[in-house]
Amino acid sequence: MRDYDVIVIGAGPGGYTAALQTAENGLKTAVIEKESLGGVCLNVGCIPSKSLLKNAEIARTLRKDSKTFGFSCENLSLDYGSAVERSRKVSKRLNQGVAFLLKNAGVDVYFGKAEFVDPHTVHAIMNDGSEKDISAESVIIACGTKPVEIPGMLPDGEKILNYRQAILQTTLPKQVVIIGGGAIGVEFATIWNGYGTAVTIVEMQSHLLPNEDAEAGAELERSFKKQGIKVKTGTALCGVDKTEDGVMVHLKQDDKESTVIADQVVIVVGFRSNAPELKLEKAGVSLTSRGWVETDDMCRTSVPNIYAIGDAAGKVLLAHTAEAMGRLAGDLAAGKDPAPLRYDLMPHATYSHPQVASFGYTEESAKVAGIAYKTSKAGFIANGKALGLGENEGWVKLLCDTETNALIGAVLVGPEVSELLPELSLAAAHNMTAADIALNVHAHPTLSEVIMEAAMEISR
């Protein structure tokens, strides 16, 4: 007899979702989490950052746009420490909610580090110093990732920061350099610029958000520069020197070297898997050359009773993808036959100002895949709701298969576009065309009317 039907290693969005799914399926379940329920996303990532972004939105309005809305803000005082405190309260509330859900579902939670002994046994080194071997019929790996560190520029929490240190600090730098123009980098830039920090963001690739549509990255860069954020794309980080007052960040662009002086530098250049720490070789689980757990499209590893989900599998490093994979693995462990996930339809959202959202093919990836496509764009510039919000920058771009007119991708830049994306990904999942979207009556005035306009244009 084994101790459990399922052990889940990690209690981030994927892990706790998998545990709740297996428990709902009637399986006796345990979770081993080395730090906090909810993982990075809930505690030091997605959730607190959105709280800070809301504060930054209000701060930006009061600092820059108050006259537009008829407010007088003389002697304005902004308390960034209170914003961080609010973000911690939001995270704490959700953390407690996850704990309640797991307890209510009968899931046992062990706080500690997990290591494989064999395919059915995990050795747990508890945070209180005790140790225990726990066995199960199935194991779901949901151990997440850690930030990539650059040799010679290791974070110290004072002058060189990683995302975790940056999101927890309660004081604002007057000047900051952000290395990495991905989602995390541009969101930090949005937060600190909203409060008046002088921000320089550095990206090695040719445009911000290098994994997104190039046109969207260029649109975000134009907006950032209008907001006073300095953007250096196609620029490499050469080194960081600490000084008495801050840092000197050495950069190189087109063989030209430059130095930016700031209070702090934040390095957010990517993530690597925590999976190698689990001693997977003892269970016979294979890793890819980059350290991700090797899985098929159904989250199955090289060992039949072991699954890997979320960031640990390295497919799409997003919380909602991890949750979807968690539900899938939870059903597989219960002997069910769930439908495979469509990773190509996974939504991507970046909560910068303006927001960027996408799914499916970009123009670049469609060309690489040899897909004949057509596009259409419609802007927010004349959208009544956007004008009322005072945020009418950006556009919606749709990609359709030339022959079938089926929707194969979209990218949106503008106000709250992350909320507009599900209509499009749902349409693509059901093989709907742009004409189908155009025929759907959209309420007026709404931001979603821009989707209808783009769909009408491409259907003509």
pLDDT tens per residue, the chain (460 residues)? Answer: 899 999 999 999 999 999 999 999 999 999 999 999 999 999 999 999 999 999 999 999 999 888 889 998 888 999 999 999 999 999 999 999 999 999 999 999 999 999 999 999 999 999 999 999 999 999 999 999 999 999 999 999 999 999 999 999 999 999 999 999 999 999 999 999 999 999 999 999 999 999 999 999 999 999 999 999 999 999 999 999 999 999 999 999 999 999 999 999 999 999 999 999 999 999 999 999 889 999 999 999 999 999 999 999 999 999 999 999 999 999 999 999 999 999 999 999 999 999 999 999 999 999 999 999 999 999 999 999 999 999 999 999 999 999 999 999 999 999 999 999 999 999 999 999 999 999 999 999 999 999 999 999 999 8
- Catalytic, 444? Answer yes
Which of the 8 DSSP states describes residue 283?
A: T
**3-class SS letters over 297-365:** CCCECCCCCEEECHHHHCCCCCHHHHHHHHHHHHHHHCCCCCCCCCHHHCCEEECCCCEEEEEECCHHH
Q: Which residues contact 53 (CB under 8 A, 6 or more apart)?
A: 187, 190, 191, 351, 353
The pLDDT, as a whole number, for residue 75 is 87
Locate 177 and state its tokens.
């350099």
> Which pLDDT value is given to residue 256?
95
DSSP 45: S
Phi, psi (rounded to 5 degrees) for 37: -60, 135
Cα–Cα distances (Å) from 32 to 27, 110, 322, 328, in that order, read 16, 5, 17, 19
Indicate the pTM of the whole model: 0.95
Rounded distance between C-alpha atoms, residue 206 and residue 233, angstroms: 5
Distance CA 82, CA 171 (A): 10
Q: Is the bond leading into 354 cis (omega within 30 degrees of zero)?
A: yes
Sheet containing 160-161: order of strands: 160-161, 264-267, 175-179, 198-203, 230-233
Give the separation between CA 378 and CA 397, rounded to whole angstroms: 7
3-state secondary structure of 152: coil
Pairwise CA distance, residues 211 & 348, whole Å: 10
Q: Which residue in 3, 20, 106, 25 sits closest to 334, CA to CA?
A: 25
Q: How far is CA 23 from CA 2, 7, 35, 37, in A?
A: 16, 11, 22, 17
What confidence score (pLDDT) does residue 74 get? 85
Per-residue pLDDT at 313:
95
Same fold, 4-147+272-343 and 160-269: yes
DSSP state letters, 76-124: ----HHHHHHHHHHHHHHHHHHHHHHHHHTT-EEEEEEEEEEETTEEEE
Q: For the structural domain made of 354-459, what CATH number should be given?
A: 3.30.390.30
Which entry of 120, 123, 430, 444 is annotated as an active-site residue? 444
Identify whether 415 is preceded by a cis peptide bond (ω within 30 of 0).
no
Q: Which CATH architecture has domain 4-147+272-343?
A: 3-Layer(bba) Sandwich (3.50)
Q: How far apart are CA 286 and CA 43, in angstroms?
A: 30
Q: Give the domain ranges of the chain.
A: 4-147+272-343, 160-269, 354-459
Cα separation, 394 vs 354, whole angstroms: 8
Q: What is the DSSP string of 388-441?
A: HHT----EEEEEEETTT-BEEEEEEEETTGGGTHHHHHHHHHTT-BHHHHHHSP
Which two three-digit tokens encode residue 56?
């930054």
**Considering Cα of 264, then 49, then 233, then 235, what sign does the dihedral take?**
positive
For residues 281 and 302, is the Cβ–Cβ distance under 8 A?
no
Identity of residue 62: L
> Is residue 198 within 8 Å of residue 231, measured between CB atoms?
no
Pull the structure tokens for residue 75: 């002697």
Using alpha carbons, select from 18, 295, 7 the residue that is nearest to residue 138.
7
Contact 413, 347 (CB under 8 A): no
Nearest-CA neighbor of 164 among 331, 44, 35? 44
R_g of the chain, CA atoms, integer Å: 23
> What is the residue-wise DSSP string for 185-231?
HHHHHHHHHHTT-EEEEEESSSSSSTTS-HHHHHHHHHHHHHHT-EE
Instruction: List CB contacts of 237: < 8 A, sequence separation 6 or more.
Output: 150, 153, 179, 202, 204, 249, 250, 251, 267
What pLDDT, on the 0 to 100 scale, is given for residue 451?
98
Q: Which CATH class is domain 160-269?
A: alpha beta
